[in-house]
Amino acid sequence: MALRNALLRHLRVPVQNLAVTPDVHFQKDLGLDSLDTVEIVMAIEEEFKLEIPDKEADKIDSCSLAIEYVFSHPMSS
């Protein structure tokens, strides 16, 4: 849920206008460009207090991959 909320905050669209499910692809399904994807990764880093290496960040192009990354890396605080 926190990942979905971070995504919605970044996109700045009303929640009812966007169906964000784990299988949503940032570019194909949401029409985002590569800069938007970078900003989403940065929002995930901020939300979950993570530092995602560029090599890993380049692979995160969908909600499911973002969820997988967040769950496989403990939050730092």
Tally of residues, the chain: 77
Q: Residue 10 belongs to what domain range?
A: 2-72
Is there a domain that residue 67 lies in? yes
Is there a domain that residue 63 lies in? yes
pTM over 0.85: no
Is there a domain that residue 77 lies in? no
Is there a domain that residue 60 lies in? yes
Cα–Cα distance measured from residue 75 to residue 66, given in angstroms and rounded to the nearest whole number: 14
Is there a domain that residue 11 lies in? yes
Catalytic entry in 23, 29, 33, 54: 33
Domains in the chain: how many in total? 1
Write out the chain's pLDDT in tens, 77 residues: 677 777 767 666 555 556 777 888 888 888 888 998 998 899 889 888 999 999 999 999 998 999 899 989 877 54
CATH number at residue 60: 1.10.1200.10
Is there a catalytic annotation at residue 33? yes
Q: H helices of the chain, where?
A: 2-11, 34-48, 54-57, 63-72
